[in-house]
Amino acid sequence: MHHGAGLLRLTNDQALVDALKTEWRTAVLNAADRQMLTYTEKLTLTPWEMVEADVIALREVGFSDAAILDINQVTGYYAFVNRLADGLGVELEAYQLDKME
């Protein structure tokens, strides 16, 4: 997770960053964040299994339709860009690798 350093700067919570890097389900999260990650994981790994209930679950923890659209679009965008890069064999540049450490 190369955004770990940025998340640490924002949260000042190393335990949260470590949990998100290894297994987000062990992280101390509020209900909305936990449901958002459940949704994004499912959309990323098994998009063909998405159903209306997944959107309803986000609404039930307080996300507006606009916020749900944002979550969906950001997740889809990153999946798209990562697949393009992976499919073309693009490697991270040295400065990006340094950020990951």
CA–CA gap between residue 90 and residue 97 (Å, rounded): 13
Contacts (Cβ under 8 Å, ≥6 apart) of 68: 55, 58, 59
Per-residue DSSP letter, 63: -
pLDDT band for 97, please (50, 70, 90 cuts): low
The confidence score (pLDDT) of residue 6 equals: 82
Please count the structural domains in the chain. 1
Residue 96 has pLDDT above 60, yes or no: no
- For the ranges 7-11, 47-51, 88-92, the one whose mean pLDDT is highest: 47-51
Q: Give the domain range for residue 18.
A: 4-100
CATH of the domain at 35: 1.20.1290.10
